[in-house]
Chains A and B, each alone.
Chain A
């Protein structure tokens, strides 16, 4: 049940509204540290990059519609397909899942009022935005990265790619990685320390488990990519020889470093999708998740095991067979946690009383496409088969089913699911269902034929192909599918946009949801919860006794933390209340820090190294200013309170 506010409670609510009132206007957004505002900024930025990546996809498909087509030539094509991959992975999917959904929902789901480090949260967003603009600047100027999203050397070395296309890639990914690293630290500490008292680890929603797994994987995977890019830029800019066999280096060092990051990356992409699915399924099935502990364990296990399989991206480089046998065994083992989850989801739906509204439809689509993508992935663990179809369209089919079908469908379903909570309006259900079927059809028609055309010999990353090989028919249908998919996606956004303008009021809890965010108003107040919620299970909204208790506490004025910008921190395992934290409200330092970091990277890519060093000094000054603000604003305040408590 949602929070009921009596006249007595209203007094406290008004006080909280005053304390937490955001700064007005544009400055309020530029200086915000509110996780919900940051989540919204991430959402629209990620959506814009989704659009850019989508345009790139449509260009690719249109160019490949017929054999020997010349819509664009190889130079432009190579930049387009490279930017398509980089955009979709680094600038859309991860920011959308972790930055938008994670940021907005995580504090709400754990009963907190903000993330552990709100200013660092803002910094993550501004650095992400800057890194995206940094890379797109290169596209606007006609020298975007052009060696594929995994950028193999020696093709990416200066000798074969003399312009600064690849430098935008190398510096850009290091830049983007800083945003993700900070975000993952924030998520882990928030999940560990900011849960409402009573939400012990075994009472944490599955959404949070998946995000914990995602963030841990991100934290440990990104350094490998960073090192790979550092080595690449040292080779390119200063003439080092990490990857050059003529000087004792090895091109396979790049591949190993890249895929040690790259494989966990794909689990980082899919785990938040699992998070969204495990939020939507119990709600619409009107029952608890089957085998909750197994599902939680499976989510963590997938992230962990994902670090041990990277060589399965390199099965054709000529390593000894025994090496391949080990890595494919590990790859097959990862299937088990995924299978556990798939069957738990299906069992929950079947044994519940499911309402197949739009969000659940998208999750059903996700389940089906995840199975298809997962099956093609299993076939790729059969070494001889992989060695036939590696780098062909079969692999393109596989990863689009798992990335688009299995990571993006929950994002789309999640948009519908939480739209009423974030906007206060309800979308149009009939149009929602149409948009699902159109998108699902488009996905199938675009990506299914790719399995076949890959098996019959079409390699990937070809800007054109000859006639007479039997590839034309499949390519044509893939292009038609891409346009159907475009129609489906446009229908989704038209539905949401229209509903934003003209939708019916949604109320606090239109779905009978199970997690805490459904107890707040729609949209939630700035401070999220007037009282810090009581929690005794992973399905807090279905524990009506606890929610009634919260209402009574609001009336009595207990557990409000209304003396400042306050939220509790708790112990890691059992979520015993530990201390009351004073959170920052708005701050200019994240924006200034992001700006100076951007200046550092801009100087580096323009090879003005001394200027870059100068901006590093500026960066240091912004960090000092940040620290100064901590001490003046709340360093003294909160802990004096604690001394008197």
Chain B
């Protein structure tokens, strides 16, 4: 949240600094009073005010009711009347684009409605554009949180919640699931890549294409193994018979930055290790140890990495 890259995150951060300042004054005031109590411990009565009983009682009314009431009303007005309007779910009319994010144990399905683009664990958005993120879940409650860009929104079965995403600057913004969702809740992170409009459009067009056809022998073998082994029963690769919807869509997996929701980098080395034994890297993940022979893995990796 401290690295804010959107007006919403910035406003919230500013609110935080003001609240921290006011809170520090209160805390230091109380500490000072206790210190005074210690220093004047041999003398009864409040220092400077004498020993009249009505004095501390008036102090309680002032410091216990009047001053807090004023401060709290101000905080309420600023945060819960004014600022809340800016961080509430946007009306779809005020946004330029809609993206659907579906939480699953323990990865993110990302859909761009109207384009047929389905990807996983990465959201690409154009900068300086109001994006309407529609968040829901396919299993348990998750929570979509990209602190640099905005507040979080829970993903609840049976509900379609919405949150605004707006990036002022290009960059890579990390998000992480923030509602405990089971064994690998800790490894359910995502990237939001904000790019200038032209770059974003190029990316989107690339994603709309069907999967690249294999061009080398290894890749051809890899595709064959992918389709004949159990991979196709869980994963989809558009343009091939693979039509599984349990795991992430792999049509353009080669162009992603990470695997397993930011758990490991997307390199041939790590992808091989993942296919060989996913449970060793992310225990509890839904992908079982398939017992794929190492020679096959090499070719499958070559094929998948070619799917840019």
Contacts and interface: CB of A to CB of B under 8 A. Distances in A.
Is the interface on chain A under 10, 10 to 19, 20 to 34, or 35 or more residues? 35 or more
A379 B72 CA distance: 10
Contact of B75 (A252, A382, A465): A382
Interface in A350-399: 350-356, 364, 367-368, 371-372, 375-376, 378-379, 381-385, 387-392
Contact of A372 (B27, B69, B174): B27
Contacts of A336: 64-65, 68-69, 72
Given A251-B158, A457-B176, A353 B41 contact: yes
A462 B34 contact: no
A252 B11 CA distance: 29
A467 B222 CA distance: 33
Interface in B12-66: 12, 15-16, 19, 23, 26-27, 30-31, 33-34, 36-38, 40-47, 51, 55-57, 59-60, 63-65
B57 A291 contact: yes
Contacts of A459: 145, 176-178, 185-186
B159 A318 contact: yes
Is the interface on chain B under 10, 10 to 19, 20 to 34, or 35 or more residues? 35 or more
Given A148-B180, A389-B1, A332 B158 contact: no
A356 B76 contact: no
Contacts of A348: 56
Contacts of A333: 72
Nearest to B263: A466
Contacts of A391: 143, 145, 152, 178-180
A75 interface: yes
Nearest to A353: B44
A462 B68 contact: no
A339 B84 contact: no
A342 B181 contact: no
Contact of A383 (B41, B84, B141): B84
A148 B181 CA distance: 10
Interface string A463-499: 1111001000000000000000000000000000000
A515 to B, nearest CB: 21
B102 to A, nearest CB: 15
B228 interface: no
B306 interface: no
Main secondary structure of the interface of A (DSSP, over half): helix
A465 B56 contact: no
A390 B143 CA distance: 10
A333 B75 CA distance: 12
A344 interface: yes
B60 A350 contact: no
A78 B80 contact: no
A465 B184 CA distance: 11
A379 B65 contact: no
B156 A317 contact: yes
Interface stretch (A31-39, A323-331, A407-415, A561-569): A323-331
A317 B154 contact: yes
A316 B38 CA distance: 44
A384 B162 CA distance: 15
Contacts of A324: 80, 84
Contact of B65 (A78, A339, A351, A381): A339
A463 B3 CA distance: 25
Interface in A76-106: 78
B60 A321 contact: no
Given A342-B30, A364-B34, A388 B151 contact: yes
B112 to A, nearest CB: 22
Among B38, B154, B162, chain A packs the most CB atoms within 10 A around the CB of B154
Nearest to B159: A318
A574 interface: no
Contacts of B268: none
Contacts of B178: 390-392, 459-460
Nearest to A154: B140
A353 B43 contact: yes
B64 A342 contact: yes
A344 B55 CA distance: 12
B186 A287 contact: no
B46 A351 contact: yes
A368 B30 contact: yes
B161 A287 contact: no
A455 interface: yes
B12 A388 contact: yes
A460 B143 CA distance: 12
Contacts of B3: 456
A455 B30 contact: no
A586 B59 CA distance: 51
Contacts of B69: 336
Contact of B19 (A252, A354, A379, A388): A379
Nearest to A74: B183
A316 B152 contact: yes
Contact of A245 (B83, B158, B181): B158
A371 B174 contact: no
B147 interface: yes
A347 interface: yes
Given A328-B76, A392-B178, A455 B156 contact: no
A250 interface: yes
A221 to B, nearest CB: 23
Nearest to B162: A318
B157 interface: yes
A160 interface: yes
Given A384-B87, A387-B151, A461-B185, A375 B23 contact: yes
B20 to A, nearest CB: 8
Contacts of A318: 89, 153-154, 156, 159, 161-162
Contacts of A354: 37-38, 41
* Top 5 closest pairs, chain A to chain B, by CB: A245-B158, A387-B151, A382-B79, A462-B186, A318-B161
23 contacts: A152-B180, A250-B158, A290-B60, A291-B56, A316-B153, A318-B159, A318-B161, A318-B162, A339-B63, A342-B64, A351-B44, A351-B56, A353-B42, A354-B37, A356-B38, A375-B27, A388-B151, A388-B152, A389-B1, A391-B145, A391-B152, A457-B147, A459-B186
Given A291-B60, A340-B65, A459-B178, 11 more contacts: A251-B156, A252-B159, A290-B57, A325-B80, A343-B59, A343-B63, A343-B64, A346-B30, A378-B23, A388-B147, A455-B2
Interface of B: 1-3, 8-9, 11-12, 15-16, 19, 23, 26-27, 30-31, 33-34, 36-38, 40-47, 51, 55-57, 59-60, 63-65, 68-69, 72, 75-76, 78-81, 83-89, 105, 139-141, 143, 145, 147, 151-154, 156-159, 161-162, 174, 176-187, 262, 283-284
Interface of A: 73-75, 78, 147-148, 152-155, 160, 245-246, 250-252, 287, 290-291, 294, 316-318, 321, 324-325, 328-329, 332-333, 335-336, 339-344, 346-356, 364, 367-368, 371-372, 375-376, 378-379, 381-385, 387-392, 455-457, 459-466, 469
